[in-house]
Each structure stands twice: as structure tokens, then as C-alpha cells.
Amino acid sequence: MKAKVLFFDDIFSDIFREKHLKEELAWDDNWIDSISKSLDESTQRIGVSFEIIKSGEIDAWEALIKKENPDIILLDLFWVEQAQQKYNDRNRAVDISMDVMQQVRKSFPSIPVVCYTIKPDYQLMERAYEAGATFFLEKVPLAIPEVHSSLKYILIYLIRQVQKENLIMEPDF
């Protein structure tokens, strides 16, 4: 099985990288590397090949989805630098992802969207689900692929659910 993951995170954006020192980015970079390694190891062990498309261009979400045709989307909830640029208010960082998620749901309702952030609270999780999140993850501070191993099984499950729904909708002639 092949699965394409469109991975939206501000850590991939030029605007974020320009505003932060390399030392400030180390934790996020290690976390991203850990997830990538965990998904890369899947091919050998469980027969699923994940292709990861990383993007920090949240405003280009629609063009990227149309171009890449992902099976699933991973979406960071906080886009601090983009919120500063768009709203002149860093405190509205979550508004960026919530707006995009609602638009994704309207245009691509069947694509699973997995949201994540560090230390979410109940209200944030509820807001994400109301905006259209399929699943919610806490960004675990350990950057060890084995810690993130369960993510691949969650992704596989969500992709299979969509595949089953698509089979049910297609007429069997």
C-alpha cells in the first residue's frame, strides 16, 4: 500500500525559519525528523510506503492538495508568524489552521485531517473537531521514531476508512 501524506507545519515555512534562531528550531526539527523516520520504516516492516510532502505554505493548501492528491493531511495548529503577518496578532495563530481546515472540509470532505499541537486543552480540541479535524494528536516532546510509531497506524486506519467509504459509494456493476 502506498500513502501520500501532505504535512503542513510552520516549521517548513521560510517566514518562520527567518524569524527564529537555529537553536530555537532544533526541537521542532528533531520532532519532524522523528516522524519522518517512523513513517519511512513502515515500508520494510508493515508493507506501507509513506510519501511525505512537507509544506510551510498554508495559504497554498488548495493548490497543493490538487497537485499532490494526498491520502491524508497532517496539520499543525499554530501558525504564529503567519498570524502576525495576516492579522498583526500572534495570538491568533490557531485561526490560520482553523480557517484552512474549514475550507479543506468544504472542498475535500473525504480527506482525513490529523491536527496536532503541544499541550492542547479541551477547548482547542473541540474547536479543531468542530472545524473538521478527523483526529487530534498531542505533539510529544520525545524525538524518537518509536514514540511516534503509533502515528503510522492511525494514518493507515484513517486512509482505510476513506477507502471503504469510497467503495461503498461506487456502484458494483
d(CA 146, CA 132): 28
Q: Is the pLDDT of residue 6 over 50?
A: yes
pLDDT of residue 164: 84
41 has pLDDT over 90:
no
Phi, psi of 54 (to 5 degrees): -100, 135
Task: Report the chain's mean pLDDT, rounded to a whole number.
Answer: 88
Dihedral pair phi/psi, residue 70, rounded to 5°: -75, 155
SS3 13: coil
Structure-model confidence comparison of residues 97 and 40, the more confident one = 97
Asked whether residue 38 carries a pLDDT value surpassing 60, the answer given is yes
CA distances from 109 to 56, 103, 112, 113, 165 (A): 22, 9, 8, 10, 12
Residue 147 has pLDDT above 70, yes or no: no
Which position has the higher pLDDT, 57 or 43?
Answer: 57
Task: Tell me the percentage of the chain whose pLDDT exceeds 70.
Answer: 90
Give the residue carrying C-alpha cell 527567518. 18
- The yes-or-no verdict on residue 75 having pLDDT over 90 is yes
Alpha-carbon span 72 to 160, nearest angstrom: 11
pLDDT of residue 92: 96
Query: What phi, psi does 25 have (nearest 5°)?
Result: -90, -10
Contact 90, 80 (CB under 8 A): yes
Banded pLDDT at 173 (limits 50, 70, 90): very low
- Amino acid 32: pLDDT: 84
CATH 3.30.70.100 fits 2-169, yes or no: no
DSSP tag of 117: E
Reply yes or no on whether the pLDDT at 33 is more than 90: no
Whole-structure pTM value? 0.88
pLDDT at 142 over 90: no
Which pLDDT does position 170 carry in this prediction?
Answer: 52
Q: Which residues touch 140 (CB under 8 Å, ≥6 apart)?
A: 31, 147, 148
